[in-house]
Amino acid sequence: MSRFTLASFAALAPAEAAAHAFGTRYDLPLPLGLWLGAAGLSVALSFLVFALALRRGADGASYPRLAVLRLHPLALKALRAVSVCMFFVLIAAGLFGTQDPFRNLAPAFVWIAWWIGFTYLTALVGDVWAVLNPWKALYPAGRFGLARGLPQGVGVWPAIRCSACGFSRSP
């Protein structure tokens, strides 16, 4: 490519897009309708990407995944320890950190790294939440009453009854 072509591409590069409203709820730099439309299209596109990436072939095989739970036990413990530490760092940042969302780790991590990055990571790698869930690492199943199931008489699904409309459904 010539220098002129490179300079043309550099001149046409977009400037910073200030379309995120971290600090203010409705004080957006874009018209609300445009912002809501773009948000809706982003969600729809994400579902389309996941639908295409996660569909099964004609032989019933799904896309290849990393067997996250089959990692070395020491690696699993290290990942869970990092997850718990990050959990406490985010709680501390939310409680004691600056209230400026541009300078606080918690909003950026939750909205960007968690809701976007972790979702795509799970789609590409597999069930990473089974490893990184800080609550599961802090309170393993069977301790502190977290592994309780429904009573035997309930069955698989609890019955639904609406006295106002007369709707009733049981397993």
Domain span at residue 77? 71-139
Q: Which residue has the tokens 């990393």?
A: 66
How many domains are there within the chain?
Answer: 1
Question: Which one is predicted more confidently, 128 or 145?
Answer: 128
Q: How far apart, in whole angstroms, are the C-alpha atoms of residue 18 and residue 30? A: 9
Is residue 77, in this structure, part of any structural domain at all? yes
- Position 121 pLDDT exceeds 80: yes
The per-residue pLDDT for 111 is: 85
Mean pLDDT within 24-51:
81
User: CB count, 10 Å around CB of 132?
Assistant: 21
Find the mean pLDDT for residues 143-148. Answer: 57
**β-sheet bridge partners, residue 161:** 168
Direct distance between the N- and C-terminal alpha carbons of the chain, in angstroms, rounded to an integer: 68
Residue type, 75: A
State the CB neighbour count (10 A cutoff) for residue 168: 10
Higher pLDDT, 148 or 166: 148
Report if residue 52 sits inside a domain.
no
Q: What is the pLDDT of residue 171?
A: 45
pLDDT digits (tens, 9 = 90+) for 43-95: 899 888 777 776 665 555 555 566 666 778 898 899 999 999 999 999 999 99
